[in-house]
Every structure is written in C-alpha cells, then in structure tokens.
Structure 1
C-alpha cells in the first residue's frame, strides 16, 4: 500500500499478517456492508457474536479454558481491523474479552473459569463489566455500590452503574462493589452476577449520537442476592478492575487506528475520483497537505501501537505506556477522521461514507477507559512524581 510509507507490514511475522488478513476479510464481508444500517437504526448485531467466537477474537489474548491464546500484537491487529468496520463491534470484543473474560481468567476461581470462559470464548455467553457509576465515572475509588455479606455467607448488592456496555444483552455481569467490614485497601471486590438474578435491572441509554451500533446501559441492583461463590476470590481492591482496564486500554490504542485508517483510505480514494474545476481533488495542494498529515499521524500511531504490543508480549508493558498509547492514538485518530470528512465535502455528512461515523464513535472511545484528562494526569504523575488526582 502506498500509504504504508514506513513499510510497517514488513515488521510483522507471517502469523501476525495472517491474523490481520483474516479479520480484515471478516470486516469487509460481514461488518462494512451492514454497518450504516446498524448505526442508523441503533442496532447491535447479536447474530455476529457467535461468528466472532468462530473468528477467534473473543478473549483471544487469554490462554486455556477454550481461549485462543494469541499474542498481544495479534490481538492489537485484530482490534484495528474490527474498528476499521466500527468502534461498536471492536468495543464488544473488548468488553467481552479484555474486561469480563479477563476479570474471570485473572481473578476467578478454577470452578468459575471452567464454568464461564469456554462458552464466552465461543460467543455463547455474553458478559459485561460493571464498574463506572453516575457520580464517579473517572474515580472508581469513590464507588457507592455496596456488597453486604448475608447471614448464610452470601452477598447482597445494592447500587447503580452507568455506561455499562452490553448489559441488556449479556447473560452475566462482572460487578465491582464496595464491601463492608474489611480493611479499606481491600474494600472493592468483584462478583459474577447472572443477569437473570432478581434485582438486576438494565436499561439501554437512548438516544445516542455515538456508538449507535453498540449497547450501553444504566444498571440498578435492588437487594440482589448472590451465593458466596459469586465472589471473584483473588480480586481485592482496585487492582482487580484496573488490571482489566489496562487490557482494554491496550486494545483501544490499536483499535482507534482502524477507524483512522478507514477514514484516511476513504478520503484518499474519494479525492482521486472527485474532479472539481476539471482536476482531481487529490491534485490540489491543500488536499495533499491534509492527506500527508493524516498519513504521518496514522503511521506514527501504528509504530507506537506495535512497540506497545512487542513490550506486552515480552511482559514489559507499563501502565504509563498504555496511557500514552490510548491518549495519543485516540486523539490523533479523531483528528484524522475530521480531516477525512472535510475532504468529502457535503457528502461526508451521509452514512454512505465512514469518517463522520467513525469520528462520532471516537468521541465515546476518547471518553471511556480513561478520559484524555485522566491519562494526561497518569503521565504527569509519572513525569513529576506528584499525583494531581486529589487535593
């Protein structure tokens, strides 16, 4: 491809290239022909879920229990290709694998892993991850949802969550709550909650201007009773949910580039075909400047994502490095989508073309799993040694 000026494809192994091509073909055949109608009608394609399971992208970075066990780079490339279709589809894969499945795989009991992970990897069971609350979106330490131990050793959940992806279509939720009667550092615990449990209420958030081919919900727990074995035994404190968030943030650093690449390629092709004033739009200096600027940021973002992937596969990836990838790549991807839309002129505001849809979606991607401000302060703390989160 002419726009791979740095020939980054040469940095990938045959297995990585094969995985990328497989997911790209799936996206071209199953997502792109349908995404405009899914987005317009605010429809999440549930029939795609088992197909994603067969594709091997659900929990694909996890090993054992029916999970594919692929590399971090292969997962990143898959996220990129899925988000070239739509952020909502990549978000499903992220919520299922990087959040819900990772929580069970890393912090669950052996029985919980055996019970849930194989079916989730096949796409037969959908999971969601309930951490964010209406009053504490960026501050999980301030969560108010409570888990109170009952006389028989079980638990009762009470509280609310917001912006929980897939909750109204999921069969299970990984819910994080503040427990009582334990030391402050261990107060946050995780629970596996079947969504048909009495007291579990999920209401889709509508209407939305972003992520319309996805589902986000408000949750409410009203005296929801759980058995003792619903607790994730190894997750104590915020380390549990944060470890899952870092998995999701890593995937976002790759995925956002898919939206950017698709927008760039759309604008590049359009500018070659469009002939204002009897010349190809791509022959004008202002258009070429936009295309070059987009290509530069796209390739720099790909270099960053690939470096993060190599570090992750080597077991050396640090949280501040993940923040750098999420902050930079989503921010620059959004700029690329807006620049691409400008090349399309008036046609760019229709669903026939992808850049504005991608840009709308990226407004959500930029917000979830840590806003720009949160990741800026994470990096600021790394640079200065001072935390600016609390006075």
Structure 2
C-alpha cells in the first residue's frame, strides 16, 4: 500500500508520482547491497540532484524547485519509505544549505548554492561535539581571526556525510561570550588541515556515513563566514527547526515502509486456515500501526504549513519530531512482532527498520530535548 496524499496542486501530485517511480526503479533495488556493505551511495545523490529532488524548498533563482515545505517533506517521506539512509542524507544536505540561504550574502549564495542544489556538491553540518551534543553552547572548537582569515581548530562529532561531503557548514567559537560567541563558517572539504576520523560503526543507517571531523588549523577566508560574528548559534538553531521537520518526514517514511511490509506479510502468511491479518489480535496491531503513521504525517504537515505561512513553528517542529520518531520506533518494533521469527531475520527488512528507527529519536535533538523545547514554549 502507498500513502494517501492530498497534494495542493496537480504539479505537486505529479512530483509525488515521479518520486515513487524513482524510488521503485533507482533506490529500492540497491538498499540491501549498500546497507550490507556500508558503502556510501554518492551517485544516488548526484542522480537525485539531477532530477531536482535535492533543491525542492529553495528559490528557483539559485537552481531550486521553489516548492513549499508541505510538498518537499512529502517527497522526502517517499524517498525515506524506500531508503531511510538516503532520506536522512537529503534532509541533512538541505540543512547544510539552509543557513546559506537565510543568512548568506548574495555573493555567497550565488557562489555556493547552485552546485549544492544540483547535487554536484554534497553538504554536511558540523554542530555537535563529543561533550556538547544537546548543549551546543558548550562547544570548544575555536575559530581565531588571523588577518583576512580564521584558523579553526577542534573536533566535531556525529557528522552525517563526514568524510564524503564536499562542503561543511561549521559552527565554531570566536569569543568566550557563551552562546553569543559562536560563528558559522563555510568550509570546503579540500581545505588543508580538515580530515575525517574513522567512520562510526552504527546500529543502523549503514548507507549513511557518520564520522567525527578534525580541524587542525584549518584556514578559512573571512569572506566564508556566514552572517556576523557571534550569530552562529542562532543560524544553527534556526536551521534545526527546519531540519527537525525533515527528520519527522523521514521517520514517517520509515514507519510507512514498516507498515507496508507488515500488511503484505500478514495477507500472505496463514495460520489456522486463514491469513493472519484476519485474526483480530494481529489485525488490531496493524490498525494501531496505521493510525501512528497517519498521525505522524498529519503532525509534520501541520508544522510545515505553519512554516510556509511565515509563522513561528519551533514548537510545532519539536512536536512533529517527537511524535513521528517515537511512532516510528513503535511501528518498526511492531513490524518485527507481526512477522514473528521471520521479522528477526534479514530475509525481510523489518529488522532493519527497527534498527534504523532508534536513531530517529536521538539525532536533530533527542526527544528529551524536544520535550524541553515544547515545555519551555508552553511556559511563556
């Protein structure tokens, strides 16, 4: 079964149909290969860029698709239904471009955005550090002004696309003024002194490379600072609001994939003379899974429409991320249960969905942090 969608225009409905075709033909046949080997599917991102699927929520003047977040997120969900690692990668790539669009100068946007949006260059986002994940204001990576350059020294953790990206958006400390002492920089991957550590050995999302990035006196021209000195954390947090919507859509897509596998299996597997979907105990599990998936979709779309309307959406983004990722974990776990012993084997993707769902509750701010954001907003 596929997700039922009510798209705002015929053009956006056609875009969904195109995405489903691409996922079925170009992505799904390769998932097992790449997730088993841990190889990063770089050519997939070039292909998606060439088809315009990396640039959807960005302005047409820079090579973007000019689409609303309501449309973009549903395309992203379709990609993640077929391959969660690629869905995460598309979301992170958009996050790496977001600050450039919102805080960059016209010259910076014209120089960097077209190649990124076309998929010729792949972006990454360097905010977290080993001791400063949920508390980014505690970061220690420093950028010291030296004439017309900054010299960056430190280490960034948990970088999606670390070591395979062409471009890194980096937050580094330019003064000791706490949260107001952080600035944002655009750093090409070939900058001398920049290197990736050994990729992390993860539970899931093997097709998405994650590594720490080491900055050993990396010299960055001052013209590659994004925004004013001291505004880096504001740029980062604004991007995270949009990034949380991306992960909400990815988590919903993963849950949809888990539901699809479960329903298909339950229609074919028979016990006591009838398909197991006709046994009420299991049918009710499937019904709850379907309700969770559709609730997640409705929640992220409500937040996206707030963003598209130009209204504040931080609380709604955190709610969407919390709901969609918790639901994805529950749906993926139930998918393994529906398949029984078969769900515990790699003959079916249910076990992969379960492993992949866990990290959705952790990155882009843990779900405990989302609850903190929501409760603080309520207290105002």
Q: TM-score, normalised by structure 1?
A: 0.92
Could you tell me which residue of structure 1 aligns to residue 81 of structure 2? 84
Could you tell me which residue of structure 2 aligns to residue 22 of structure 1? 18
1:94-133 aligned at under 5 Å gives the runs 94-97=91-94, 99-133=95-129
Counterpart of 1:175 (choices 152, 170, 175) is 170
1:356 and 1:317 map into 2 onto residues whose CA distance is 38
Counterpart of 2:263 (choices 262, 268, 280) is 268
Could you tell me which residue of structure 2 aligns to residue 277 of structure 1? 272
Counterpart of 1:164 (choices 156, 159, 167) is 159
Counterpart of 2:220 (choices 222, 226, 237) is 226
Could you tell me which residue of structure 1 aligns to residue 302 of structure 2? 307
2:232 and 2:124 map into 1 onto residues whose CA distance is 19
Structure 2 SS opposite 1:219: strand
1:136 and 1:384 map into 2 onto residues whose CA distance is 25
Are the counterparts in 1 of residues 175 and 182 from structure 2 also a CA contact under 8 Å?
Answer: no
User: 1:85 offset after TM fit, Å?
Assistant: 1.4
Are the counterparts in 1 of residues 137 and 178 from structure 2 also a CA contact under 8 Å?
Answer: no
- Unpaired runs of 5+ residues, structure 2, are none
- Unpaired runs of 5+ residues, structure 1, are 386-391
**Ranges of 4+ aligned residues in structure 1 off by more than 4 Å:** none
1:79 and 1:191 map into 2 onto residues whose CA distance is 27
Could you tell me which residue of structure 2 aligns to residue 215 of structure 1? 209
Could you tell me which residue of structure 2 aligns to residue 75 of structure 1? 72
Q: CA RMSD in A?
A: 1.7
User: 1:107 offset after TM fit, Å?
Assistant: 1.5
1:175-214 aligned at under 5 Å gives the runs 175-180=170-175, 184=178, 186-214=180-208
Counterpart of 1:37 (choices 13, 22, 33) is 33
Could you tell me which residue of structure 2 aligns to residue 238 of structure 1? 233
Could you tell me which residue of structure 2 aligns to residue 153 of structure 1? 148
Could you tell me which residue of structure 2 aligns to residue 143 of structure 1? 139
Structure 2 SS opposite 1:174: strand
Question: Are 1:343 and 2:338 counterparts?
Answer: yes
Are the counterparts in 2 of residues 308 and 317 from structure 1 also a CA contact under 8 Å?
Answer: no
1:11 and 1:290 map into 2 onto residues whose CA distance is 29
Structure 2 SS opposite 1:238: helix
Question: Are 1:332 and 2:327 counterparts?
Answer: yes
| Cα 1:166–1:185 shift into 2, 3 Å | closer
Structure 2 SS opposite 1:239: helix
Q: TM-score, normalised by structure 2?
A: 0.95
Are the counterparts in 2 of residues 179 and 189 from structure 1 also a CA contact under 8 Å?
Answer: yes
